[in-house]
Amino acid sequence: MLQLNGRSDITVDGQGVGGTTADGWAANPSALPDAVSLNPDARWVWLSIGGNDLFQHYLQGYGGSTATDYDADLRVMLDSLFAAHPDIEVVMFGYDFINFEQSTDCILTAWAYFGTSITTPTLNQYFIDQVMGTIEDVAADYPRLTYVDSVLGTLQEAGGVAGAPNVLFPSPSRYMSDCIHPNHDGYLLIMQALYDDYWGRSAPTAAMSPEGGAYCVDETAVFTGVSGGAAEQHWYMDGAHVGEGSTLELAFDAPGSHTLEIEARNGAWVDSVTATVEVSAVPVAEAGADATICPGESVSLGAAPEDGAAYDWAPTAGLDDPTSSQPLATPTETTTYTVTATAGEACAATDAVTVTVLPVEELTLDGPNVALTEEAVTFSVDAAGPVTWDVEGATPTVSEDGLEATVVWEAVGTYQVTVISTPAEGCPAEVGLLVEVSDDDDVEADDSGVDPDPGTKDAACGGCSGSRTSAGWALGLLGLMLALRRRAR
């Protein structure tokens, strides 16, 4: 039949043994794969088996259903075959209707097998249920087994039987050589039907969308078969059959690299394409706990890195390494940092942390920057929190609220007055003032009588600060007048 249809590219090596049963082949499970191994270029296996199992079943007096045994024997044969030849294609078409009505011998044979009450409709339906139905059920579990069900009724259709396949009638006698087997013309009709519905089809073109890709654990992906000319589409993941039809939904429960394959089938012809699917675990993004710092201080963010994860922090201002899982942050103002942890090409997680930069209180220290020995001078500070006075060369007398200090220096010199504020909320602040102390015989007051740069840091006094105030001016002028009066004496 292949030659009659011009298929010289397909050759047949007949390994069949007439009269055998599926039960017999299953008893020797290596027989079928060994037969295929003798033909390394074999692409298809055509199995026509099952009828003898049914007749033998009844001949041995089992009665009832033969489908259970036939199903199990077929699976043993196929499992052994596909284990040795996973890419082989198997085709089965079952049988066409038999004819136990055409002669007395056929009628007697039917009675011997099935009892005298058997009728053609009953026998045909039973044959369909026990043999063809079993083949169909088994084929549903084996993607590389094709059941060509269009052969049933071929001889009836050629003989003009209405409604073929029609269980009410047998196959016409003109196409039968005996009660069971077709003659030459009958075989040609059956083989042509098989060819038309299997080898005679056009080759499909396999394609999928998307073509693989990167996904995350616990993500579900949907792939669509966009194959051309395909009657069936089958899906495989790492060689295992995972679905059929035009769409495939996959849920990924573990990381790994996989090969996804779509197989487009049209009768005997198969085309396939593969794509890579990369599945990555979703990394944990850990920005760390919120932190509070003072200006100039630093805090470590994030957590230890995960294997295979990349990190990106934003904004980058104040970070020593925005690609580290644990950067050191030294922001100049309150900032919320967001870390994005990425694994693979598609899996990412984010987390955020806020680093609050507390304000530093602006202190104002009032007092003179010149003084006389043995005379008391008073300094005051405007501060929100508790303050500590640190006076060089003398022990200050501090007011009850801590905001004023009276100082008496006994020796001539230049002394630093420092005030440190430690508020309950906020950062410690410090302000200082340099005071020039003279005795009554050697007073050289500053013309202004105050710090030359009040209220700001002064490099000339080592970073101290003072305040130009009315009190400061008054004390400065007083010191100048005393000095001049004593010198006049």
Same domain, 156 and 274: no
In the chain, the amino acid numbered 280 is S
Same domain, 340 and 369: no
pLDDT of residue 420: 94
Task: State pLDDT tens for residues 336-381.
Answer: 999 999 998 879 999 999 999 998 888 999 999 999 999 999 999 9
- 43-49: average pLDDT: 90
Cα torsion angle, 345, 350, 355, 356, sign? positive
Q: Please check the confidence at residue 406 and state whether its pLDDT lies above 90.
A: yes
Same domain, 214 and 272: yes
pLDDT of residue 172: 95
Evaluate whether residue 7 is within a structural domain. no
Same domain, 161 and 44: yes
Same domain, 326 and 474: no
* 3-state DSSP helix/strand/coil % of the chain, to nearest 5: 25, 30, 45
Where is average pLDDT lowest: 218-232, 313-327, 410-424, 453-467?
453-467
CA distances from 242 to 83, 142, 143, 263 (A): 18, 12, 10, 11
Last residue of a domain, one of 144, 162, 197: 197
CA distance 105 to 100: 8
Same domain, 481 and 401: yes
pLDDT band for position 331 (50/70/90)?
A: very high
**Cβ 25 vs Cβ 32: under 8 Å:** yes
Same domain, 163 and 240: no
pLDDT of residue 333: 95
- 292-309: average pLDDT: 94
CA distance 299 to 327: 9
Instruction: Please give the backbone phi and psi of residue 366, each rounded to the nearest 5 degrees, phi first.
Output: -105, 140
Last residue of a domain, one of 342, 357, 372: 357
The more confidently predicted of residues 67 and 487 is: 67
Q: Please check the confidence at residue 206 and state whether its pLDDT lies above 80.
A: yes
> What CATH number does the domain containing 165 carry?
3.40.50.1110
Where is average pLDDT lowest: 63-72, 323-332, 371-380?
63-72
Q: Tokens 């470590």 — which residue?
A: 300
Task: State pLDDT tens for residues 334-346.
Answer: 999 999 999 988 7
Evaluate whether residue 3 is within a structural domain. no
**Cβ 346 vs Cβ 280: under 8 Å:** yes
Same domain, 97 and 192: yes
Helices and strands (H, E) in the chain, number of each type: 10, 25
Last residue of a domain, one of 153, 168, 197: 197
Same domain, 272 and 298: no
Evaluate whether residue 444 is within a structural domain. yes
pLDDT of residue 63: 53
pLDDT of residue 346: 79
Task: State pLDDT tens for residues 147-176.
Answer: 999 999 999 999 999 999 999 999 999 999
Q: Tokens 């052969």 — which residue?
A: 151
* Structure-token pair, residue 106: 């056929």
- 327-331: average pLDDT: 97
When mean pLDDT is compared over 61-70, 117-126, 452-461, the highest value belongs to 117-126
Radius of gyration in angstroms for the set of CA atoms belonging to the chain, rounded to a whole number: 50
pLDDT of residue 208: 96
The more confidently predicted of residues 73 and 475 is: 73
Q: 10 Å Cβ neighbour count for 382?
A: 15
> What CATH number does the domain containing 433 carry?
2.60.40.10
Evaluate whether residue 5 is within a structural domain. no
**Cβ 327 vs Cβ 316: under 8 Å:** no
Same domain, 347 and 404: no
Q: What is the pTM of this model?
A: 0.66
pLDDT of residue 58: 65
* Structure-token pair, residue 259: 């090969």
User: Does the N-terminal peptide bond of residue 29 adopt cis geometry, omega within 30 degrees of 0?
Assistant: no
Containing domain of residue 145, as a range? Answer: 22-197
Task: Report percent pLDDT > 70 for the chain.
Answer: 88
Give the number of domains in the chain.
Answer: 4
Same domain, 123 and 272: no
The H or E element containing residue 210 is none
Q: Please check the confidence at residue 453 and state whether its pLDDT lies above 50.
A: no
**Cβ 123 vs Cβ 100: under 8 Å:** yes
In the chain, the amino acid numbered 376 is A
Same domain, 69 and 179: yes
Task: State pLDDT tens for residues 251-296.
Answer: 999 999 999 999 999 999 999 999 999 999 999 999 999 999 999 9
pLDDT of residue 54: 76
pLDDT band for position 385 (50/70/90)?
A: confident
